[in-house]
Amino acid sequence: MRSSQFCCFLLIGCLISQIYASSDAIFHESFDESFEGSWIVSEKEEYSGTWKHSKSEGHDDYGLLVSEQARKYAIVKELGKPVELKDGTVVLQYEVRLQNGLECGGAYLKYLRPQEAGWTAKGFDNESPYSIMFGPDKCGATNKVHFILKHKNPKSGEYIEHHLKFPPSVPSDKLTHVYTAILKPDNELIILVDGEEKKKANFLSSEDFEPALIPEKTIPDPDDKKPEDWDERAKIPDPEAKKPDDWDEEAPMEILDEEAEKPEGWLEDEPEEVDDPEAVKPEDWDDEEDGEWEAPKIDNPKCESAPGCGEWRRPLKRNPAYKGKWHAPLIDNPAYKGIWKPREIPNPDYFELEKPDFEPIAAIGIEIWTMQDGILFDNILIASDEKIAAEIRDTTWKPKFKVEEEKQKAEEQTAGFDGLKGIQKTVFDVLYKIADVPFLAGHKDKIMELIEKAETQPNITIGVIVSIVVVIFSILLKLLFGGKKATKKVNVVAEKKEEGEASNTAAEGEAEEKEEEEEEEEEKSEDAAAAAAPRRKTRRDT
């Protein structure tokens, strides 16, 4: 009896929690019923793609389906009451399944402003004003879960798109995934993918949004000009220095080694190569048309056991008298004033902001262009509580995802590629995460291009992965150690900062020119030495 009562209480509790969850959701579209009459398809001619009410592959659950390839799609759902974003927590969440993958296209949502902003449901298009754009977008080097806030500048009145920096990447499989954006009253933004936190940002931080919502307080004065007598050279050649009398600039870098002796057993009368004794003149060879036939050459077998063959000549050695071109040493520039910068002035466009001036959400729109079909949208949610979003993820997304994941594993095992594909998937997941690392931002496009090439061309996967690793490793080395000249520049900056002065690029340029001249002199010395002792190098040169 007690166990029966417990089960009843548990069932009632679950029922109450579900009722509470659904009633507390501001908006929830499950697509259990047809979307026709509720969602309005754009009548703009360019949006020729056909929307369908369709089951998710392998499930009885319905969604909104992108049914044709290489089409533009636009559809909108007006809310009964605009949703305010300025007070309290707001959660935006939806599921999307890329049943045929996503090579080039979008699968994001647009949360539209009220129609007073200048749009209509039947005329919904790319220009329709939105407050937030959120969701996956992938094509070429682009691979990101967008979050874009369209915010009104309080001074100019202009609406500006502010993009989340370093957004997470789109999962590279054909499973159902759920995307969640949590907007908190303390200006915090949290992006979840499949319930896992992938990005945390602050709306007012210049480190998190580009461009920043709040402009810089000061800017360089555009009217400030560098004085003509401003000297930026930290070091200059010593004007009092003189070339030493014993400095021979003409001495070659290498000279013949007069102490060298021909190795014992050197076969001076034997050529390095001989005619191939097994070669046979082709039957169709015509001496009149093709010329006299000659057998191809092979390495002389007699040279295998000898130190060398052919004419022996003395090798070159480093010239102890070589000093290269003389340059006056560098000294501190007494006229040095540092690197010139325009003075800072107050930014006339600056304003303060305690929190973003979010525009209300009056409708949800899907306006995309895609080369793939099979994109299925489902369970679009707007809620004021994170727990509601979590409960809906657990009840709608998680069961489907587990079934799809198990099916994928079974198919891979049946095909015999479970081990390799599992490793590849893990590697790609790691590489996508690496591509999102902030310090690689300048190289992200190149890295993403390589990753996508490896995914779409399995036969070159290993090679491309190695290339990606090499690229990332090279960037790390460059960031950690830098190049030879870059190191010099940093050292100069460090030294001058200790003295309260800036670095000098002009002096560095002189140092670089000096190095280049020395390299040219070395090349000339090599040429001179080679001319003094011309010979064809053998494969047994010592």
- Give me the mean pLDDT over the 279-304 stretch: 91
Residue 331 lies in a domain: no
If you average pLDDT over every residue of the chain, what do you get?
A: 83
Percentage of the chain modeled with pLDDT above 70 = 77
- Give me the mean pLDDT over the 507-533 stretch: 49
- Residue 443's pLDDT is what? 72
- Residue 529's pLDDT is what? 42
Where is 524: in which H helix or E strand? helix 505-532
- Residue 298's pLDDT is what? 93
Residue 13 lies in a domain: no
Residue 390 lies in a domain: yes
- Of 425, 448, 477, at which residue does a domain stop? 477
Same domain (yes/no): 58, 132: yes
Same domain (yes/no): 123, 26: yes
More reliable by pLDDT, 395 or 469: 395
Q: Give the range among 19-28, 64-73, 226-235, 456-465 with minimum mean pLDDT.
A: 456-465
Residue 447 lies in a domain: yes
Give the DSSP letter string of 70-106.
SEEEEEEEEEEEEEP-SSS-EEEEEEEEETT--SEEE
- Give me the mean pLDDT over the 62-75 stretch: 96
* 480 confidence band (pLDDT: 50, 70, 90): low
Question: Mind listing the pLDDT tens digit for each residue in 182-203?
Answer: 999 999 999 999 999 999 999 9
- Residue 523's pLDDT is what? 53
Residue 265 lies in a domain: no
Nearest by Cα to 114 from 365, 425, 324, 285: 365
- Of 450, 477, 504, at which residue does a domain stop? 477
More reliable by pLDDT, 47 or 455: 47
Question: Mind listing the pLDDT tens digit for each residue in 96-112?
Answer: 999 999 989 999 999 99
Report the distance separating Cα 340 and Cα 413, nearest Å.
Answer: 65
* 219 confidence band (pLDDT: 50, 70, 90): very high
Half-sphere exposure of 7 (CA within 13 A, CB side): 4
Q: Is a pLDDT exceeding 70 seen at residue 537?
A: no
Same domain (yes/no): 363, 471: no
Same domain (yes/no): 141, 84: yes
Domain CATH for 359 = 2.60.120.200
- Of 446, 477, 508, at which residue does a domain stop? 477
The strand pairing partners of 75, in sequence order, are 41, 366
Report the distance separating Cα 298 and Cα 95, nearest Å.
Answer: 68
- Please tell me the pTM assigned to this model: 0.63
- Residue 467's pLDDT is what? 72
Same domain (yes/no): 402, 424: no
In the chain, the number of structural domains is: 2
Q: Is a pLDDT exceeding 50 seen at residue 538?
A: no
At a CB cut-off of 8 Å and minimum separation 6, what does 515 contact? none
* 522 confidence band (pLDDT: 50, 70, 90): low
Residue 178 lies in a domain: yes
Question: Mind listing the pLDDT tens digit for each residue in 84-97?
Answer: 998 899 999 999 99
Q: Is a pLDDT exceeding 80 seen at residue 464?
A: no
Report the distance separating Cα 138 and Cα 248, nearest Å.
Answer: 63
Same domain (yes/no): 401, 418: no
* 513 confidence band (pLDDT: 50, 70, 90): low
Instruction: Return the structure tokens found at 197.
Output: 């936190």
| Largest distance between two CA atoms of the chain | 113
Q: Is a pLDDT exceeding 70 seen at residue 493?
A: no
Question: Residue 184: which domain range?
Answer: 22-220+355-407
- Residue 482's pLDDT is what? 55
At position 4, the amino acid (one-letter code) is: S
Same domain (yes/no): 368, 467: no
Question: Mind listing the pLDDT tens digit for each residue in 406-448?
Answer: 999 888 887 765 555 556 666 777 777 777 776 676 677 777 7
- Residue 463's pLDDT is what? 67
- Residue 460's pLDDT is what? 59
- Give me the mean pLDDT over the 464-471 stretch: 70
Q: Is a pLDDT exceeding 90 seen at residue 206?
A: yes
Same domain (yes/no): 387, 473: no
- Residue 486's pLDDT is what? 40
* 451 confidence band (pLDDT: 50, 70, 90): confident
Where is 288: in which H helix or E strand? helix 287-290
Same domain (yes/no): 29, 137: yes
* 57 confidence band (pLDDT: 50, 70, 90): very high
* 265 confidence band (pLDDT: 50, 70, 90): very high
Nearest by Cα to 356 from 51, 499, 528, 148: 148
Half-sphere exposure of 271 (CA within 13 A, CB side): 6
Same domain (yes/no): 70, 112: yes
Number of other residues whose CB lies within 10 A of the CB of residue 14: 11
Residue 497 lies in a domain: no
- Residue 430's pLDDT is what? 73
8 A C-beta contact, residue 167 and residue 160: no
Q: Is a pLDDT exceeding 60 seen at residue 492?
A: no
Residue 362 lies in a domain: yes
First-last CA distance in the chain:
97
List the beta strands (DSSP E) in 130-269.
Answer: 130-139, 142-152, 159-164, 176-183, 188-193, 196-202, 209-210, 218-220, 235-237, 254-256
- Give me the mean pLDDT over the 272-285 stretch: 91
Report the distance separating Cα 376 and Cα 54, nearest Å.
Answer: 8
* 357 confidence band (pLDDT: 50, 70, 90): very high
CA angle 224, 227, 233 (to 5 degrees): 120
Same domain (yes/no): 69, 166: yes
Same domain (yes/no): 180, 197: yes
